[in-house]
């Protein structure tokens, strides 16, 4: 499947290339830093087929895609070459002067924006190297391999090298985020792990620089010292480029930057970062290790809230530190617990829900959650139904109690906490970790079944979709929608229901008239008929949209429901195909209205997409209207000119 059209639609909906300062993707999301957030058309973003949900974190506008996000990201770059330089490349000529992570917004937004941009690019290497170390630990624990063999030592080197040089890897990614020179940052951080310097600091003799003491610290496997060094480098480099002429930027700026920031790092920033990292990591590990069942219940139960607020991102540096120095981490299993608890709650909804559409949605999002993508189910079902969310928290607490109570560990940060990410848990504690996931899943499922839930937040639009009185209006023959009173063509209603002004439609793209002038109808039944006599131009793949061209050149778009593209065609049956000849009142679609109304607004929009080709488009019906009854009057330019004479 290709995503070029989806990519073009997403970029357009976030305000176009000129509104994007930088972008990249994580495991499930496209992440945009924008010039003007108000230019984003959220409804248009949600309407894109590949989009599952959106999230505005303040520092970033996140478009949640799911497992296919790398393909969509590749399509964005292919269809918008001008954005390529803005993809994790702060040194490009057209890159912006600042990023959301480095400037603008609250301190919290900048902090989490920095974390969310710096660490995801490292995930592939972290996952590969971590899995090697985890599998080796498992092989030794099972007695399949000895640490004394050369095979083990070679494989261990492959897995451990990335973590040994972690300061350099962190520096490369952080330099992109801070928009400073990547290779100068790498050179500066390489000095921290330079063998001769490490030996000098480890010799036990006092070390000074211009009389200032240099603290004996080992920087291999660390995260924070390198981050502080690159942060300082970005400021020094920015000031130098502002003060010095461009002719000196190539040679003088790197020289002065390294000579200034290097000693500052060795004397102050490096030791400070090491102390901060050791204290926070030690405290977290103590809580996770000695808090046992209590910590598991607390963190396991609250993990969905922690993830939703982005607070888990703050722990990434310490997770990496644990993986690098200890070979495993006790916090990561809790993210798996959260995934399986959400999945269990969603499957419970599928078992107990009365609405067919709610059951179908919960099943699909439940399987998606098991694959490690919980956002669709979490935001779409659990949050609206509070008891379901509570049930998932109960299951998460139970799974967390098992995980921390029995020493569950993760051995790699693989970027997916669902079934595909299970290899990251492979190690001596694998059995207890799997047990915690099973408890989380079953615990959530049972809790939701016992607590029950109210489906009305997801089905509240059903009552609105069925007016108390059936519209009574005389239908017209097939020519009634073509001419009337000599003003020009008329467009009939494609469905029986209640007329709704276009400005009141809960979709900004339609309400603002972006797609053309027209009107909407809140349907009372699911029979969608042709509003004109002419040709079917297109039946959208998800069958919720039909485009037609009348014999008089009026181009009509019939859009059934708001955000119904997300249903993927479920509940819709098409009776025509592209190129078919139709007449007014001929059936186009059949919609399972109660099922669609259970989760979506069923307001059906009728717009003239080539409105600018006519002098005017005005509604001619109010209140209730019958299918095939006159709905819109289209005034031709010829008639308008004639009227002025």
Position 503 confidence tier, pLDDT thresholds 50, 70, 90: confident
Position 426 confidence tier, pLDDT thresholds 50, 70, 90: confident
| Total domains in the fold of the chain | 4
Has residue 150 been placed in a domain?
A: no
Among 459, 487, 508, the domain boundary falls at 459
What is the pTM for the complete model shown? 0.47
pLDDT at 338 > cutoff 80: yes
Q: Determine the 3-state secondary structure of 491 from DSSP.
A: strand
Among 36, 68, 95, the domain boundary falls at 95
Has residue 67 been placed in a domain?
A: yes
Cβ-based neighbours of 608, under 8 Å, separated by 6 or more:
491, 516, 517, 518, 554, 555, 556, 557, 614, 617, 632, 634
Has residue 327 been placed in a domain?
A: yes
Same domain, 432 and 490: no
Same domain, 368 and 324: yes
pLDDT of residue 107: 54
pLDDT at 215 > cutoff 50: yes
| SS3 per residue for 220-286 | CCCCHHHHHHHHHHHHHHHHHHHHCCHHHCCCHHHHHHHHHHHHHHHHHHHHHHHHHHHHHHHHHHH
pLDDT at 449 > cutoff 90: yes
Has residue 125 been placed in a domain?
A: no
Does residue 556 or residue 359 have the better pLDDT? 556
Closest of 156, 150, 116 to residue 135, by C-alpha = 156
Same domain, 448 and 521: no
Cβ-based neighbours of 305, under 8 Å, separated by 6 or more:
none
Position 614 confidence tier, pLDDT thresholds 50, 70, 90: confident
Q: For residues 287 and 318, is the Cβ–Cβ distance under 8 A?
A: no
Q: For residues 300 and 331, is the Cβ–Cβ distance under 8 A?
A: no
Tens digit of pLDDT for each residue in 102-138? 444 455 555 655 665 677 677 677 767 777 877 787 7
Q: Determine the 3-state secondary structure of 535 from DSSP.
A: strand
Considering the candidates 26, 80, 312, 544, report the single residue annotated as catalytic.
26
pLDDT of residue 100: 38
Tens digit of pLDDT for each residue in 258-278? 999 989 988 888 888 878 776
Can you count the helices (H) and strands (E) in the chain? 24, 20
Distance CA 198, CA 192 (A): 8
| CATH code for the domain of 49 | 3.30.1360.60
**26 a catalytic residue:** yes
Closest of 69, 85, 79, 78 to residue 120, by C-alpha = 69
Q: Determine the 3-state secondary structure of 470 from DSSP.
A: coil
Position 441 confidence tier, pLDDT thresholds 50, 70, 90: very high
Has residue 118 been placed in a domain?
A: no
- Mean pLDDT of all residues in 601-630: 86
Considering the candidates 25, 80, 544, 559, report the single residue annotated as catalytic.
559
Has residue 145 been placed in a domain?
A: no
Same domain, 452 and 515: no
Phi-psi region of 369 (alpha: psi -120 to 50; beta: other; left: phi over 0): alpha
Same domain, 85 and 174: no
Query: Would you give the distance in Å from CA 48 to the centre of its chain?
Result: 13
- Mean pLDDT of all residues in 78-91: 69
Same domain, 426 and 506: no
Same domain, 281 and 305: no
Same domain, 484 and 601: yes
Q: For residues 639 and 488, is the Cβ–Cβ distance under 8 A?
A: yes
Q: For residues 550 and 613, is the Cβ–Cβ distance under 8 A?
A: no
Q: Is the dihedral of CA 415, 419, 423, 425 positive or negative?
A: positive
- Mean pLDDT of all residues in 415-424: 78
Same domain, 507 and 601: yes
Among 290, 320, 339, the domain boundary falls at 290
pLDDT at 344 > cutoff 90: yes
List phi, psi (to 5°) of 538: -155, 140
Has residue 152 been placed in a domain?
A: no
pLDDT of residue 60: 75
A 10 A CB-CB count for 272 gives 16
Question: Of 124-138, 286-300, 467-481, 560-574, which one has max mean pLDDT?
Answer: 560-574
Extended beta strands in 352-507, E state: 490-492, 497-500
| SS3 per residue for 1-43 | CCCHHHHHHHHHHCCCHHHEEEEEECCCEEEEEECCHHHCCHH
Tens digit of pLDDT for each residue in 307-330? 665 556 567 777 777 777 777 888
Same domain, 391 and 512: no
Q: What's the token pair of residue 515?
A: 């797609």
Distance CA 220, CA 166 (A): 7
pLDDT of residue 308: 62
Q: In which domain, by residue range, is 550 found?
A: 464-644
Q: Mean pLDDT score of the chain, rounded to an integer?
A: 79
Residue spans of alpha helices (H) in 452-546:
456-459, 461-464, 508-511
Q: What's the token pair of residue 571?
A: 């509940």
Tens digit of pLDDT for each residue in 486-502? 456 889 999 999 999 98
Position 345 confidence tier, pLDDT thresholds 50, 70, 90: very high
- Mean pLDDT of all residues in 25-52: 82
Same domain, 76 and 190: no
Distance CA 583, CA 579 (A): 13
Distance CA 49, CA 295 (A): 40
Strands 534-539 and 581-582 come out as: antiparallel
**559 a catalytic residue:** yes
Distance CA 503, CA 492 (A): 19
Q: How far is CA 600 from CA 274, 500, 522, in A?
A: 52, 16, 12
Same domain, 224 and 308: no
| CATH code for the domain of 499 | 2.70.70.10
pLDDT of residue 120: 66
Has residue 77 been placed in a domain?
A: yes
């Amino acid at each position: 499947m290709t995503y070029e059209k989806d990519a073009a639609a997403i970029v357009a909906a976030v305000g176009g290339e000129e509104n994007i300062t930088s972008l990249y993707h994580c495991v499930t999301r496209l992440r945009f830093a924008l010039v003007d957030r108000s230019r984003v058309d959220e409804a248009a973003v949600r309407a894109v087929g590949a989009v599952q949900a959106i999230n505005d974190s303040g520092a970033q506008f996140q478009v949640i895609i799911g497992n296919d996000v790398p393909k969509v990201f590749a399509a964005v770059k292919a269809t918008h070459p001008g954005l390529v330089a803005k993809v994790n490349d702060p040194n490009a000529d057209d890159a912006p002067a600042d990023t959301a992570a480095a400037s603008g917004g609250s301190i919290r937004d900048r902090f989490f924006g920095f974390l969310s941009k710096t660490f995801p690019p490292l995930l592939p290497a972290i996952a590969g190297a971590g899995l090697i170390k985890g599998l080796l630990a498992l092989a030794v624990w099972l007695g399949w391999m000895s640490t004394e063999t050369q095979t083990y030592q070679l494989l261990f080197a492959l897995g451990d090298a990335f973590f040994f040089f972690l300061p350099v890897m962190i520096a490369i990614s952080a330099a992109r985020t801070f928009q400073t020179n990547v290779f100068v940052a790498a050179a500066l951080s390489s000095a921290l792990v330079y063998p001769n310097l490490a030996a000098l600091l480890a010799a036990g003799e006092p070390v000074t620089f211009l009389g200032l003491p240099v603290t004996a610290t080992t920087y291999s496997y660390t995260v924070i010292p390198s981050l502080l060094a690159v942060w300082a480098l970005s400021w020094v480099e920015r000031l130098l480029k502002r003060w010095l002429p461009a002719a000196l930027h190539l040679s003088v700026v790197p020289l002065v930057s390294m000579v200034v920031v290097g000693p500052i790092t060795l004397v102050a920033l490096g030791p400070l970062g090491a102390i901060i990292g050791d204290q926070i990591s030690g405290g977290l590990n103590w809580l996770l290790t000695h808090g046992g069942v209590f910590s598991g219940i607390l963190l396991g139960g609250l993990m969905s809230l922690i993830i939703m607020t982005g607070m888990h991102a703050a722990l990434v540096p310490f997770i990496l530190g644990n993986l690098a120095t200890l070979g495993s981490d006790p916090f990561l299993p809790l993210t798996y617990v959260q995934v399986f608890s959400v999945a269990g709650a969603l499957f419970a909804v599928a078992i107990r829900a009365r609405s067919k559409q709610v059951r179908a949605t919960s099943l699909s999002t439940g399987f998606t959650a098991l694959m490690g993508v919980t956002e669709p189910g979490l935001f779409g079902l659990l949050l609206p139904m509070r008891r379901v969310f509570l049930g998932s928290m109960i299951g998460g607490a139970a799974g967390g109690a098992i995980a921390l109570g029995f020493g569950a560990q993760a051995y790699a940060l693989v970027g997916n906490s669902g079934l595909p990410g299970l290899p990251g848990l492979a190690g001596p504690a694998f059995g207890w970790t799997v047990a915690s996931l099973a408890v989380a899943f079953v615990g959530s499922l049972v809790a939701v079944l016992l607590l029950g839930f109210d489906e009305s937040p997801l089905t509240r639009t059903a009552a609105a979709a069925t007016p108390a009185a059936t519209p009574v209006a005389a239908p017209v023959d097939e020519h009634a929608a073509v001419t009337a009173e000599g003003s020009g063509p008329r467009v009939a209603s494609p469905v029986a229901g209640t007329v709704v002004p276009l400005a009141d439609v809960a979709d900004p793209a339609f309400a603002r008239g972006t797609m053309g002038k027209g009107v909407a109808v809140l349907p009372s039944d699911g029979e969608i008929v042709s509003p004109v006599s002419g040709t079917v131009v297109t039946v959208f793949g998800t069958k919720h949209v039909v485009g037609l061209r009348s014999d008089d050149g009026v181009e009509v778009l019939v859009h059934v429901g708001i955000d119904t593209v997300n249903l993927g065609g479920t509940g819709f049956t098409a009776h025509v195909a592209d190129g078919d000849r139709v007449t007014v009142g001929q059936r186009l679609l059949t919609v399972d209205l109660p099922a669609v109304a259970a989760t979506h607004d069923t307001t059906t929009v009728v717009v003239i997409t080539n409105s600018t080709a006519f002098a005017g488009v005005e509604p001619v019906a109010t209140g209730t209207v019958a299918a095939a009854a006159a709905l819109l009057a289209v005034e031709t330019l010829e008639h308008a000119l004639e009227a002025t004479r």
